[in-house]
């Protein structure tokens, strides 16, 4: 039966022998679904704006894909950023942006949902819109075009891309996509009254969907924002984030997508809890996903069993923002290790918490013989800076933990730090070298072996919206680069110890652009558009990223607004400045965030509200949510492993 | 390991764009989903006992790919083929399976392949001229990028037989000629692939297809005295019958 929208496959296929890794454009993953076009009431294209190999494993997209396709009258397909080699051929041959499921043109869908895990995918969104034949500027679109709707962590400040978006959802998507679907279904069934404007206004009136065009931004003469206000009476002053409570009711992905192409994560991932209240002040994810909501041990066990049976994966990842903090993590690890002992299934826990308990868990999970790497994230080199960022780890803890790993048979551990943190001095960074030396020295002593190593891995700190560090001036790249050079020299100052220490870092320039996109306002859209026009693609990939292109674009467009790149990045904001995302409600009380920032400057730590009284960050009362943690006291019973 | 099974599988349609590594991953996962009792190697990182033999290049379809599995529990090969085929993606199709009853390796049996190469947009007469020039040449050297770097490979020497024909294009585009090559090519090192044959035709006769060719491996196996490809699983199949009779 021929349908009203045709597959682009016959036109795409002849291009594929001419591009690298053509399998990524073919689809046909296990778990993928192709539904009839004409019988679907609402059609979603879901995009992860990066290469297939990165986007396919993305949990957010997989969850929404499955949740939407479970609706009998809803069709959801996926699309990813195409590499420049295929982009050029698609332009030459007039092939539009397509979904990998049924190779349908993205421009034909009702909605295009884009998940922004990072800001560096913004230029890829523009490529996709352009290839899809969708006008880049949202207000230029009409009834023929999909509603372009963004989500994901970066969407908590969507202002730099607001011009390109029709709508934005903050927070958890499981229920939000169904509610949006219901509104679109109803509006279409009524014969699309009032056109696109009416549909967007129905979405905005839920108070959980942000429609940028319904808000005006006024600026002060000095370039700061004066206010952000609705330009119509029926939309809320602030838009609230969504929180899915009771994750046991949402055990997705049930049928994980298993690709033919190679991807960055080849495993079944189960999110063991969502949210984190450790309170690390640099961590946007921990701030915007509160409160902690655990999946129960029994749901986790069932998801792992089903996920493995449905996928054939041989690796399971127990994911969350700090997995060792699950109230029943010990029983989860030993229960799963028991279940899969003697099979070739390997279990892993992304280990970031620095304590010996983490080594115990890793040991438990590696009973099957396969040992995954151990990573600890002290984040800051000195105890002083760790108090500033609220990462409560003493030097003694760190050394004891790493030595425990060495004495338990690990020959190599990875230590993760950040550079460019607020109040940071050269001395704070040089402490990283001293720590690494100490770790090796203590490790050699404890094991009696010279065959132990550690890798020091450094990331550049980027201040993020909705965190206590949202006001800080970002450290300039040249300062970061200089500190990293000093650190490298300090690590190698002792040749014997230095030989056992690997050093990995990125230069500071990409972080500055990430900073611009993270804390930018609507005026930054012109920079993004300019960079894209000048060929900017795949900015998350060092071989494609061009710092100069961003600097040039910023210099070309920002002076007209009386601001510049430094104004957005290295400038410290004061308490009363209106921030571009103030009208977007993550639940965090701005006064509390400011107080936490002052506490950071005073080097005062903040405990976790799971174990100490509520410290009034504001999320639970304003969002009507609560902490959901165990222990349930239940255990995993043995099952016949697959 | 209690039993070895040899499989013939096909790579059809869009999944012909899987690379050899893509297929290997897909096969291992499908074996797990289908609960096939694959044997594993010993050691710190056990690997499933799977031997691959001369896989078709990425983008080339095939009706005749071969792989050998070691099993840790006995299983009827026909049942195995059905279960594995159901677990593999559509287009990766298990065609047949036999229990290994012989001692020589699969690679030793896969002496030559028959390929079919469709050239949409190429006039059959033009192709026939190019092929005639190719056949007349004693040696046709083509540059190939191998793991050892750039190498000159003699394509002509590996080609046992080459014929031409024509057809309407599979996608059904009207009025476009489509020339077809069928050839039997010996398995040599480095291997001579459909792309190399086309490079050879370009070298001897300047043949330049306007769109990428579509190649399919039709058969793979021992080469008979007549230059035909024989069934590489025939010997094992005879052994299975003999065991049943005995």
Residue A227 three-state SS:
strand
State the pLDDT at residue B168.
63
Give the confidence band of B146 by pLDDT, cuts at 50, 70, 90. Answer: confident
Residue of chain B with shortest Cα separation from A345? B32
**Please, where are the H alpha helices in A94-207?**
122-132, 174-189, 195-204
Smallest CA-to-CA distance from B67 within B48, B89, B90 is with B48
Interface test with A, best of B13, B15, B25 (most A CBs within 10 A): B25
Residue B189 clears pLDDT 90, i.e. is over it: no
Q: Please give the full DSSP string across chain B, using - where no structure is assigned.
A: --EEEEEEEEE-GGGGG--HHHHHHHHHHHHHHTT--B-B--SSS--B-EEEESPPPTT-EEEEEEEEEEESS---HHHHHHHHHHHSPTTEEEEEEEE---SS-HHHH--EEEEEEEEET--HHHHHHHHHHHHH-S--EEEEEETTEEEEEESGGGEEEEEEEE---TT--TT--EEEEEEEEE--SSPP-HHHHHHHHHHHH----SS--EEEEEEEEPBPTTSPBPPTTHHHHHHHHHHHH-
Beta strand ranges found along A461-505 (DSSP E): 501-505
Q: Is A636 in contact with A298 (CB distance < 8 Å)?
A: yes
Which chain A residue has the Cα nearest residue B16? A23
Chain A partners of B38 at a C-beta cutoff of 8 Å? none
ipTM of this predicted complex? Answer: 0.91
Residue A351's pLDDT is 67
Q: What phi and psi values does residue B69 have, to the nearest 5 degrees?
A: -115, 140
Q: Contact A22/B31, CB-based, under 8 Å?
A: no
Would you call A178 helix, strand, or coil by DSSP? Answer: helix
Q: Do B59 and A22 touch (CB under 8 A)?
A: yes
Residue A425 CA to residue A433 CA, distance in Å, equals 14
- Chain B residue with Cα closest to A312: B29
- In this complex, the residue of B17, B44, B46 whose CB is nearest that of residue A23 is B17
Cis peptide before A631 (omega within 30 of 0): yes
Residues of B in contact with A642 (CB under 8 A): 32-33, 35
Among candidates A9, A17, A260 on the partner chain, residue whose Cβ is nearest the Cβ of B89: A260
pLDDT at residue A104, as a whole number: 98
Please tell me the distance from the alpha carbon of residue A278 to that of residue A353, in angstroms, as a whole number: 10
- Distance CA(B236)–CA(B103), nearest Å, equals 9
Distance from C-alpha of B242 to C-alpha of B221, rounded to nearest angstrom: 22
Q: What is the pLDDT of residue B43?
A: 78
The string over A603-629, giving b where at least 16 C-beta atoms fall within 10 Å of a residue's C-beta and e elsewhere, is eeebebbeeeeeeebbbbebbebebbb
The answer to whether the beta carbons of residues A93 and A118 sit under 8 Å apart is no
Residue of B nearest to A100 (CA): B14
Confidence band, pLDDT 50/70/90 cuts, at residue B173: low
Q: Which chain A residue is nearest to residue B18, measuring alpha carbons?
A: A23
Binary contact (B212, A17; C-beta < 8 A): yes
Cβ contacts below 8 Å, chain A against chain B, sum to 74
Residues of B in CB contact (< 8 Å) with A are 14-15, 17-19, 21-23, 25-26, 28-33, 35, 40, 44-46, 48, 58-59, 87, 89-91, 171, 211-212
Contact B22 A261 (CB under 8 A): yes
Backbone angles phi, psi at A624, to 5 degrees: 70, 40
Nearest by CB to B14, which of A28, A310, A642? Answer: A28
- Contacts A314 to B, Cβ<8 Å: 28-29, 32
CB contact under 8 A, A260 and B15: yes
Query: What are phi and psi for residue A207, nearest 5 degrees?
Result: 65, 5
Name the minimum distance, in Å, from the CA of A476 to any CA of chain B.
Answer: 43
Q: Count of CB atoms within 10 A of residue B21's CB?
A: 12
Looking at residue A638, what is its pLDDT?
A: 82
C-alpha separations of A176 from A64, A173, A244, B236 in Å: 10, 5, 9, 58
At a CB cut-off of 8 Å and minimum separation 6, what does A489 contact? none
Q: Is A312–B90 a contact, with Cβ atoms under 8 angstroms apart?
A: no
Question: Which pTM was predicted?
Answer: 0.95
Report the C-alpha gap between B122 and B68 in whole angstroms.
39
Question: Which residues in chain A come in under a pLDDT of 50?
Answer: 641-642
Q: Which residue is it, tokens 């039997």? A: B184
Rounded Cα distance between A211 and A235, Å, is 9
Q: Do B14 and A309 touch (CB under 8 A)?
A: no
Q: SS3 of A387, please?
A: helix
d(CA A584, CA A211): 11
CB-based burial label for B145 (10 Å; 0-12, 13-18, 19+): exposed
Cβ proximity of A68 and A252 under 8 Å: no
Nearest to A30 among B14, B45, B89 (CB): B89
Of B17, B31, B40, the CB nearest to A22: B17
> Could you tell me which chain A residue has the CA closest to the CA of B41?
A344
Q: Rounded to 5 degrees, what are φ and ψ at B137?
A: -75, 150
Q: Are the Cβ atoms of A23 and B90 closer than 8 angstroms?
A: no
CB contact under 8 A, B18 and A370: no
Contact state of B22 with A314 under an 8 Å Cβ cutoff: no
What is the structure's pLDDT at A370? 67
Q: What is the dihedral of CA A150, A151, A155, A159, to 10 degrees?
A: 20
> How high is the pLDDT of residue A179?
98
Q: Helix, strand or coil for residue A248?
A: helix
Residue B162, both tokens: 């080459």
User: Phi and psi of A243, rounded to 5°?
Assistant: -130, 120
Best B9, B12, B21, B22 residue to mutate vs chain A (most A CBs within 10 Å) = B22
What is the sign of the dihedral through the CA atoms of A444, A450, A455 and A456? positive
Q: Given B26, B31, B33, which is nearest A260 (Cβ)?
A: B26
Which one, of A119, A51, A168, lies nearest residue A524 by Cα?
A119
**Does the distance separating the beta carbons of B212 and A18 come in below 8 Å?**
yes
A12 to chain B: closest CA residue:
B14
Residue whose token pair is 């009208």: A583
Helix H or strand E segment including A269: strand A268-271
Locate tokens 């230059």: which residue?
A: B227
- Tokens 């994810």: give the residue: A285
Structure tokens at A49: 């704006």
Residue among A274, A271, A272, A270 at smallest CA distance from A292: A274
| CA end-to-end distance (rounded Å), chain B | 23
Sign of CA dihedral A534, A535, A540, A542: negative
In chain A, which residues have their Cβ closer than 8 Å to the Cβ of B59?
A: 16-17, 22
**In A376-390, which positions are buried (b, 16+ CB within 10 angstroms) versus exposed (e)?**
bbbbbbbbebbbbbb
* Partner-chain contact B22 A262, CB within 8 Å: yes
Burial class (CB in 10 A: 0-12, 13-18, 19+), A257: buried
* Dist CA A352 CA A557 (whole Å): 41
Instruction: Kindly indicate the confidence band of residue B190, based on its pLDDT and cuts at 50, 70 and 90.
Output: confident
Contact assessment for residue A305 and residue A642, using Cβ atoms and an 8 Å cutoff: yes
How far is the C-alpha of A179 from the C-alpha of A204, rounded, in Å? 12
What is the structure's pLDDT at A642?
Answer: 46
Alpha carbon distance A85, A542 (integer Å): 17
The pLDDT score that the predictor gives to residue A565 is 98
Q: Do B33 and A311 touch (CB under 8 A)?
A: yes
**3-state per-residue secondary structure call for A553-567:** HHHHHHHHHCCCHHH
Cα–Cα dist A411/A402, whole Å: 10
> What are the tens digits of pLDDT across the range A313-362?
999 999 999 999 999 999 999 999 999 988 889 999 886 678 888 888 98
Residue A445 to residues A399, A406, A433, A438, A517, Cα–Cα distance (Å): 12, 10, 18, 10, 47
The stretches of A341-380 forming alpha helices (DSSP H) are 356-365
A381: left (phi over 0), alpha (psi -120 to 50) or beta: alpha
**SS3 for A236?**
coil
C-beta of residue A86 within 8 angstroms of C-beta of residue A92 = no
Specify the pLDDT at position B42: 84
């Amino acid at each position: 039966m021929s349908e009203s929208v045709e597959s682009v496959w016959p036109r795409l296929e002849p291009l594929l022998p001419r591009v690298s890794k053509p399998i990524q454009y073919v689809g046909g993953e296990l778990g993928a679904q192709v539904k009839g076009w004409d019988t679907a009431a609402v059609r979603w294209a879901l995009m992860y704006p990066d290469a297939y190999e990165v986007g396919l494993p993305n949990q957010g997209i997989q969850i929404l894909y499955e949740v939407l396709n479970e609706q009998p009258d809803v069709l959801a397909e996926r699309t990813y950023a195409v590499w420049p080699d295929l982009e050029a051929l698609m332009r030459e041959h007039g092939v539009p942006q397509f979904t990998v499921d049924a190779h349908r043109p993205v421009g034909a869908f009702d909605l295009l949902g884009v998940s922004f895990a990072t800001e560096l995918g913004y230029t890829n969104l523009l490529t996709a819109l352009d290839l899809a034949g969708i006008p880049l500027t949202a207000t230029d679109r009409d009834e023929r075009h999909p509603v372009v709707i963004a989500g994901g962590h970066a969407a908590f400040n969507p202002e730099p891309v607001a011009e390109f978006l029709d709508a934005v959802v903050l927070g958890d998507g499981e229920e939000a996509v169904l509610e949006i679907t219901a509104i679109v279904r109803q509006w279409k069934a009524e014969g699309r009254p009032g056109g696109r404007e009416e549909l967007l206004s129905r979405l905005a009136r839920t108070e959980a969907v942000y429609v940028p065009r319904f808000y005006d931004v006024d600026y002060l003469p000095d370039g700061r924002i004066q206010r952000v206000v609705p330009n119509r009476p029926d939309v809320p002053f602030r838009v609230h984030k969504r929180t899915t409570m009771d994750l046991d009711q949402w055990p997705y992905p049930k049928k994980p997508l298993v690709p033919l192409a190679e991807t960055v994560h080849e495993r079944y991932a189960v999110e063991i809890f969502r949210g984190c209240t450790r309170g690390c002040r640099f961590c946007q994810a921990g701030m915007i996903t509160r409160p902690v909501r655990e999946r129960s041990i029994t749901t986790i066990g069932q998801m792992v069993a089903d996920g493995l049976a449905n996928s054939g994966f041989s690796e399971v990842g127990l994911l969350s923002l700090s997995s060792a903090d699950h109230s029943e993590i010990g029983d989860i690890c030993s229960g799963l290790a028991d279940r899969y002992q003697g099979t070739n299934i390997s279990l892993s826990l992304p280990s970031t918490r620095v304590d010996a308990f983490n080594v115990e868990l890793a040991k438990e999970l590696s009973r099957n013989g396969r040992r995954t790497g151990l990573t600890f994230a002290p984040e800051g080199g000195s105890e002083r800076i760790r108090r500033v960022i609220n990462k409560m780890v003493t030097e003694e803890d760190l050394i004891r933990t790493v030595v425990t790993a060495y004495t338990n048979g690990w020959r190599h551990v990875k230590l993760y730090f950040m550079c460019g943190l607020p109040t940071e001095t050269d001395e704070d960074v040089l402490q990283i070298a001293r720590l690494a030396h100490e770790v090796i020295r203590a490790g050699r002593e404890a094991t009696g072996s010279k065959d132990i190593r550690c890798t020091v891995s450094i990331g550049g700190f980027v201040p993020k919206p909705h965190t206590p560090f949202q006001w800080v001036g970002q450290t300039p790249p040249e300062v970061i680069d200089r500190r990293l050079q000093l650190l490298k020299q300090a690590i190698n100052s002792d040749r014997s110890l230095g030989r056992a220490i690997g050093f990995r870092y990125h230069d500071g320039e990409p972080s500055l652009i990430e900073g611009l996109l993270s804390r930018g306002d609507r005026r930054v859209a012109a920079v993004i558009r300019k960079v894209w026009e000048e060929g900017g693609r795949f900015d998350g990939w060092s071989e494609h990223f061009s710092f100069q292109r961003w600097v040039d674009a910023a210099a070309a467009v920002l002076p007209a607004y009386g601001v510049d790149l430094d104004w957005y990045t290295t400038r410290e904001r004061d308490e009363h400045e209106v921030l571009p995302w103030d009208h977007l409600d993550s639940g965090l009380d701005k006064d509390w965030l400011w107080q936490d920032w002052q506490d950071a400057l005073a080097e005062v730590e903040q405990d976790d509200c799971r174990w100490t009284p509520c410290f009034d960050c504001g999320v639970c009362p304003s969002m009507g949510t609560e902490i959901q943690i165990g222990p349930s006291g239940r255990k995993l019973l043995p099952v016949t492993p697959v | 390991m209690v039993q070895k099974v040899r499989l013939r599988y096909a790579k059809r349609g869009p999944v012909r764009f899987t690379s050899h590594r893509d297929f290997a991953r897909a096969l291992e996962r499908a074996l797990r989903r289908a609960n096939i009792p694959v044997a594993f190697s010993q050691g710190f990182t056990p690997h499933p006992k799977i031997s691959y033999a001369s896989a078709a290049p990425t983008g080339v379809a095939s009706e005749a790919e071969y792989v050998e599995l070691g099993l840790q529990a006995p299983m009827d090969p026909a049942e195995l083929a059905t279960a594995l085929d159901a677990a593999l993606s559509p287009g990766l199709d298990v065609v047949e399976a036999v229990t290994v009853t012989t001692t020589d390796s699969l690679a030793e049996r896969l002496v030559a392949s028959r390929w079919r190469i469709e050239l949409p947009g190429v006039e059959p007469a033009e192709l026939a001229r190019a092929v005639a020039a190719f056949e007349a040449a004693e040696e046709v050297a083509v540059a190939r990028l191998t793991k050892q770097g750039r190498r000159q490979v003699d394509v002509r020497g590996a080609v046992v037989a080459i014929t031409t024909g024509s057809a309407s294009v599979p996608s059904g585009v009207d009025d476009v000629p489509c020339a077809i090559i069928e050839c039997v090519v010996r398995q040599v090192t480095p291997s001579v692939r459909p792309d190399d044959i086309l490079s050879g035709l370009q070298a001897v006769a300047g043949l330049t297809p306007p769109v990428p060719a579509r190649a399919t491996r039709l058969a793979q196996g021992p080469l008979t005295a007549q230059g035909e490809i024989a069934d590489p699983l025939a010997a094992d199949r005879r052994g299975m019958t003999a065991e049943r009779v005995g």
